[in-house]
Copies of this chain bind each other. A is one copy, B any other.
Amino acid sequence: MRLNEMSKTELEKFRNQALSKYEEFKSKNLKLDMSRGKPGADQLTLSMPMMNVLDENSDMNTENGLDVRNYGLLDGIPEAKKLFSQMIEVSEDEIFIGGNSSLNLMYDTVARAMLYGTVGSEKPWAKEEKVKFLAPVPGYDRHFGVTESLGIELINVPMTENGPDMDIVEKLVSEDASIKGIWCVPMYSNPEGITYSDETVRRFAALKPKAPDFRIFWDNAYCIHHLNDTPDKLLNIMNECKKNGTENMVYIFGSTSKVTFAGAGIAFMGQSKENLAHMKKIVGMQTIGFDKINQHRHVKYFKDMNGINEHMKKHAKIIAPKFSVVLEMLEKEIAPLGILEWKKPNGGYFISVDTLDGCAKKVVQLCKEAGVVLTGAGATFPYGIDPRDRNIRIAPTYPPVHELELAMELFCICVKLASAEKLILG
């Protein structure tokens, strides 16, 4: 029976049952963390053979004869460009190989625009009276953090099944020259797991922004992170941009953080040749180059995209059952009650749920008090403010399955409890 069809007496009985189960759970003194999209230990162990790839007798030269142990090659070794350009679908002369963190590449890209401007800028963004970014919501808290930290105002744009609401995006960017960018996770979006439709990608590529230096931050973090044999497909935005002559409008980001090691992988950035030349001129003042030994190690380990894709299947084998635990538990415990909405992603790292309006904070709070830490409610919105207080990001990858089952059992109880109380109060 759906909760909104219950009488007040039925609701109170339902609430009391949930409460007693909750108190029972509390006495278990759990201590579980589902707050971040971290790989589990078994996933990290998949890449441990990479530690054997180099030894003291290894050839440490690139194919163009440069010693990876010495200074040089600001934008990465050719082998890494070749491999990772295939991953984010740009050409080898459209990629910059960075350090260990794509977030760092994104932050630095915004910071560079603040300090210097970028191709097409009239002045550094920091000299503008106001700089704004569009934030498709729900979205990734660390994206919002970058722009918030740098004093850039964020404007919410609702997500649809096909990506950000492009009617709104098109209208806003064509009218307001202070809108300089938009944050996108186009494939298996964080947190909803939505992949932008072909039409959405085409409309992005065809944007006519009022700001001459508007940029799409295309964080393709999960481009190869499929969960099953029917993966989503994302249209190649660089190709679409080229058809529109807008290839300077997009920065594409990727990394192996959730392929090899989280925080010890390789991050990279795809962009037009003109953008790349502009970036290299400035980054050449910031550093002599990034860790080429780790680039060399990654390339020797994977050899080619086929090697990476085979590796990703092993990840899927480990994490797909965790997604199933969450989805099955929600289906069984919550679906009949009509108090929660969610999607079933084909990839990525998250399951996003929407509670009844005004219940998300309460659910996260209840879970926390019973020992299960979730991503903070509101985190998926700029400034931590979810206007309807309903979105919660579930990150199922880190805990082992038996812990996840416990945590989800608790989560369902908390959703029931918070929803019933909400409906009782009316």
Contacts and interface: CB of A to CB of B under 8 A. Distances in A.
A359 to B, nearest CB: 29
Interface in A128-164: 142, 145-146, 148-150
Contacts of A69: 44, 47, 261-264
A256 to B, nearest CB: 12
A114 to B, nearest CB: 6
A171 B279 CA distance: 38
A14 interface: no
Contact of A291 (B54, B99, B287): B99
Interface stretch (A34-42, A230-238, A332-340): A34-42
B286 A108 contact: yes
Contacts of A38: 70-71
A41 B67 contact: yes
A107 interface: yes
A385 interface: no
A72 interface: yes
B292 A264 contact: yes
Contacts of A99: 99-100, 290-291
A186 to B, nearest CB: 21
Contact of A101 (B67, B114, B142, B287): B287
Enumerate the 10 nearest inter-chain pairs by beta-carbon distance, A residue then B residue, closest first.
A149-B285, A264-B293, A48-B56, A44-B69, A104-B287, A107-B286, A100-B291, A51-B54, A69-B261, A101-B287
Interface of A: 36, 38-39, 41, 44, 47-52, 54-58, 60, 67-72, 99-101, 103-104, 107-108, 111, 114-115, 124, 126, 142, 145-146, 148-150, 257, 261-264, 282, 285-294
Given A107-B287, A111-B111, 19 more contacts: A41-B67, A41-B70, A44-B67, A48-B58, A48-B60, A50-B56, A51-B54, A51-B55, A51-B58, A70-B263, A71-B257, A71-B262, A100-B291, A101-B290, A103-B287, A126-B126, A142-B285, A142-B288, A291-B294
